[in-house]
Chains A and B, each alone.
Chain A
Amino acid sequence: MVPTSARETVGPLSGGPTATHCPYCALQCAQTLLRTPEGRLPVEVRSRDFPTNRGGMCQKGWSSAEVLAAPDRLTTPLVRRDGRLVPAAWDEALDHVHARLEAIRAEHGAEGVAVFGGGGLTNEKAYTLGKFARVVLRTPYIEYNGRFCMSSAAAAANRTLGVDRGLAFPLADLGDADVVLLVGSNPAETMPPLAQHLAGARAQGGLVVVDPRRSATARLTADGGGVHLAPVPGTDLVVLLALTHVLVDEGLVDADYLAARTTGWEDVLASISRWWPERAEAVCGVPADTLRRVARRLAAAAPVHGGGGAYVVTGRGMEQSAHGTDTVSAAITLALALGLPGRRGSGYGPLTGQGNGQGGREHGLKSDQLPGYRHIADPAAREHVARVWGVDPQDLPGPGVPAVELLRRLGTGGGPRALLVHGANLVVSAPNVGAVRKALGRLDLLVVSDVVPSETAMLADVVLPVAQWAEEEGTMTNLEGRVIRRRRALDPPGDARDELWVMRELAARFGVELSDDAREVFDEMARASAGGKADYSGITYDRLDAGEALYWPCPADRPEGTPRMFQDGFATPDGRARLVAVDHRAPADDVTGERPVHLVTGRVLQHYQSGAQTRRVEELVEAAPGPVAELSPVLADTLGLEDGDRVRVSSARGSLTVPARVTDAIRPDTVFLPFHWAGELSANLLTTDATDPVSGMPEFKVCAVRVERVARAVPAPEEVLA
């Protein structure tokens, strides 16, 4: 398990080691795959040294080869006949899909068909899926599950900094900072090797973690590593405004930076002035003096006060809110007040979640975007992309609707009648999954491409078996905006095919030609992105394969790329960051007498997203077999329950029954549920589908619930005897 050298032969299918990256999160840990023709699994996974993971890998990565050999791996197309999914040949399945789509389009028009992608798809697949929707189907209805992930961070960065690239700097830069402020992010559990980059801040006592739970990451602040702030769920915005308030109040802002590099500071001052620490305390539950201490610590680390640098980093905990865009804006305001973004050794950035959540949103999976992070309503963008695609700009559809709204419209009057799903498990991962399940049931046609029979695939009319990470070529864009190569080590099993091939075949039936060669697709995508914000036109497979570290924007005339953005200015017309005034609002589904406890949802280390992959890996299931509701001893006493009791957690939308785990690592007003499980154990039966007005992000992270005991813990045998 010792990391192998980064400079090893790249030999897809040559039998030699294959240098690629982990199939899971946006950290994209570097892996080397060795063919093991005689082994139980087709490849052996080794970790590989890379600046992001430094040779580290978590249990998901180490065990990732298990999913290649999942016992229920889909290896043949399935078509539903008489209510049952039965095997079919590819031609039969694709002809059937084509005929049904044509019929639906004839009756309901192009808007009768919708496409839903995923943040795990390669850039090539994301690009092709976007092109397929707009050129072949000509529907505006295309979305992806990244809407549930990064949309608030993206919207806030776009409106303030002019562009969104996740981290605007290489991850390793974090290591040299005095202070790292992590708001609503738990990387020690969700992307463990990242924690190595927090060691520098911890050594200085400068790791600040904002989380209602004493998460694995919050525990890194123990023993002098830093400070953990545990606000009431849904009040991160108050914490951020109060921290900024203290900077203003104590004259700690970087006034020269604000004057030279931003606009709107005067406007946001009024909103900041309303949140002095004592007022914030009563709302967010973080003591006023703690807020002051943290603000001063941040200021001391800022360049303007001669500090060694500070970073403000956000995560889903604060972004997945009906006020997520505003909350991220407050985080950016804090960073700008400290003079951090666009300065070497300091900065702001969100931690992207899904493997290619970044690339997916840049190249066309979002309803309002064309490749290169271009806006679909922008005539120049339409013109450029239409030329690359060889179509009339008039024929490109306009903006669609965000994911939650799209799901609501499925099968309703005027809404889409058919849905094609690629790389998403909607009935587990969307908010308020009870309603989503009903929406899918209203469709005339549901087509799901997947590697395993996910819960969503099992509802489909047609299931198409596709290749997964070690079986395909492509690129991913990691959480720092670096484009990396995914390489094929083996062929997909049985009749499973690459999704590029699936889209090519389907397009051909509509008389449109698409390429299924990843390198060709990438080159076309690079051309389509040229001149856009996410410009890849200077990137080629040859350069990536030669080991170059390429961060976008990387236009052909600046082929060195951009490891650190904003050094000379922001991506706004005048080069200045545009500060946005925001204010706190209560959660959409706030606690009441009837449902007096906050529910927050999140992840456990062993599982990924809807669990479609990780719930098929024995060692991960053994380590984390099912969801448990975490709650504090105080809440347990309030509710009269004990560790191990089975509890029903109910919201206005649904309920589930799980064991309770009593832990002092959570606020006494909050219960935590992980969301990786399906059916009756899906945390998203409870979550609200209220969305952010700017980003369309659902409010996954806070809603009101009631917790009741339904059965006592089964006593241990010795207690029975005693």
Chain B
Amino acid sequence: MRVVVIGHGMVGSRFAEELVAADPGAEVTVLGKEPVPAYNRVLLSGVVAGSTDPALLAMAGPAHPRLRVLTGVAAVDIDRQARTVRDATGHDHAYDVLVLATGSAARVPAIQGVADDRGLVPGVHVLKDLADATGIVDQAVGARRAVVLGAGVLGIEVATGLAARGLSVRVVHLGQRLMERQLGWEAAQVAVGSLGRLGITTHVGASVAGVLTRRDRLSGVRFGDGLEAAADLFVMCCGTSPETVLARRAGLTCDRGVVVGEDLCSPDDPAVFAVGDCAQPPEGGRGLVAQGWEQARRLVARLSRADGGPGADGTTDVVRVKAVGLSMVSMGLSGDFDREDPRYRVLSLKDPERGRYVEVVVAGGLLVGATCLGDAEVGATLSALYTRSMPVPEDPALLMVRALAGGGPGVVSRAPADLEDGDRVCSCNSVSAGAVRAAVHGGCRTAVEVSRRTRASTGCGDCRSTVEALVAATASEQGSQQTHPDLVRSQS
């Protein structure tokens, strides 16, 4: 089976590697238009933030004799009759199965002056590939003021990343609140406060009408209301659109993306499939890599006629913002939904002072949505519950504060005088405070003697100081004058 994959991104590369591993009859050719092999696109915002070394993003697996990866070679045409793909060098690649993994492209809004015939003007950027990220980083060095257009997930990641680099950052967002797909009104309000503490100014309901240049370089932006602001870096994070040019030209049905069925196959051609951001499956494309990887896994199972087995983490719509200094996660029902709908029980906790906001949505005993800002532990626990559809407590508020307790004081850290007789002092040997007291009352004068009689602190020894203090306290309660001070170390 000859398989041609167009696109060597996170999904295309994984699909190709897993297919050759699963199917001994598969000969796979991958055409990747970027000049580097597959890398982790999800972490590009980390490159912008300076927390990720771009050299360490590589994702491509080891070489395989039945896997041919052509890097820096774009596909230019699909001939579905001949079942060939022509690449930019004019070479034709025959296929039995064609897999489109062309991904998506950054949307560039119509803003006066952002681009000229040479492309985006210097200082203006989008963030979609590695070159974009390194371009932003180069520009950020020495820059002082940045404007980020679009306060979706990527916009927030870029804004916080640039702020972490010491730039003064403005976020401009056309919508009436930040991240409206993920955050409701209250959550968005809390997020504005948190961003403010990181040195980021937020402008909602605002647009950028034009960019100002000086000597062919960006010098500022003009907002929709006519006001202007100086800026030496302008990053547009206005969403993506599925890359469908080749598919359309080949006569495949495309809507927002390349239309495919549940089996990821195009309705127009049983030999053509699409996975990842370029695909539009019946449930819709979410633009999350988890969905693309799940599709890749399913398609490998289908093509290799193997049992796919359980997925690594299934399809999930958990959105975890990778923002420096800001913990933010949302899942399921979040952002815009009808909070008055009687089917939903919606609880929220708002603590703007600490940048904390937690909202959980329960229906039919299950967690069907959640938003969590400013509490990483709670956010992580909610994600784990949500992805596994676990039942939620009768009182869902229990999920909103430290769902997993971090550790109240153990018995041994209590003051010896406060220990009840039944409290276990030595776990290794099941010795209670009462047994230690009884040993003292029975004539033991030192902790060593008590240990000898009760075996307390003869295991790991961790309770030695507690036993010593308890012996001292008991002895002094007893008014015992026989206890030699050197023999009983008091608790420090």
Contact = CB atoms under 8 A, between A and B. Distances in A.
Contact of A634 (B314, B393, B460): B393
Interface string A30-63: 0000000000000000010000000111110010
B387 A249 contact: no
A2 B446 CA distance: 13
B43 A249 contact: yes
A281 B385 CA distance: 12
B30 to A, nearest CB: 14
B455 A192 contact: no
A273 B59 contact: yes
Contact of A282 (B51, B57, B320, B389): B320
B310 A250 contact: no
Interface string B167-205: 000000000000000000000000000000000000000
B42 A276 contact: yes
Contact of A591 (B40, B46, B388, B392): B388
Interface in B374-400: 376-377, 379-381, 383-385, 387-395, 398-399
B79 interface: no
B407 interface: yes
A198 to B, nearest CB: 9
Contact of B40 (A276, A593, A606, A640): A276
B476 interface: no
Contact of B387 (A222, A251, A283, A639): A283
Nearest to A223: B413
Interface string B50-62: 0111001111111
Given A1-B455, A47-B458, A596-B390, A274 B407 contact: no
Nearest to B426: A59
Given A195-B460, A273-B58, A669 B388 contact: yes
A524 interface: no
A interface bracket (residues with beta carbon within 8 Å of B): 35 or more
Nearest to A276: B43
B96 interface: no
B408 interface: yes
Interface in A602-647: 605-606, 619, 623, 632-635, 637-640
A258 B52 CA distance: 20
A713 interface: no
Interface in A14-32: none
A230 B404 contact: yes
B383 A282 contact: yes
A638 B392 contact: yes
A1 B452 contact: yes
A284 to B, nearest CB: 7
B213 interface: no
Interface in A555-606: 581, 583-586, 590-591, 593, 596-597, 605-606
Max count, chain A CB within 10 A of own CB: residue among B57, B388, B399, B459: B459
B429 A58 contact: yes
B459 A192 contact: yes
Contacts of B142: none
A249 B53 contact: yes
Interface string A206-228: 00000000101001101100001
A266 B380 CA distance: 31
A59 B430 CA distance: 7
A202 to B, nearest CB: 10
A282 B316 contact: yes
Interface string A389-409: 000000000000000000000
B455 A62 contact: yes
Interface string A498-525: 0000000000000000000000000000
A714 to B, nearest CB: 18
Contacts of A230: 404
A289 B327 contact: yes
A135 B51 CA distance: 62
Contacts of B348: none
A289 B314 CA distance: 23
Given A57-B459, A196-B461, A634-B393, A586 B56 contact: no
Given A2-B448, A284-B384, 13 more contacts: A62-B458, A193-B428, A214-B405, A250-B51, A267-B61, A273-B59, A281-B329, A282-B316, A289-B327, A581-B61, A596-B390, A639-B391, A664-B405
Interface of A: 1-2, 47, 55-59, 62, 188-189, 192-196, 214, 216, 219-220, 222-223, 228, 230, 232, 248-251, 266-267, 269-271, 273-274, 276, 278-279, 281-290, 581, 583-586, 590-591, 593, 596-597, 605-606, 619, 623, 632-635, 637-640, 664-665, 667-669
Interface of B: 14, 17, 40, 42-43, 46, 51-53, 56-62, 289-290, 293, 309-314, 316, 318, 320, 322, 327, 329, 376-377, 379-381, 383-385, 387-395, 398-399, 403-408, 410, 413, 427-430, 448, 451-452, 455, 458-462
28 contacts: A1-B458, A62-B455, A188-B427, A188-B460, A192-B427, A193-B461, A196-B461, A214-B407, A219-B410, A222-B407, A222-B410, A271-B61, A279-B289, A281-B320, A282-B329, A282-B384, A282-B387, A287-B377, A288-B376, A584-B313, A585-B312, A590-B310, A597-B390, A623-B430, A634-B399, A635-B393, A638-B394, A669-B390
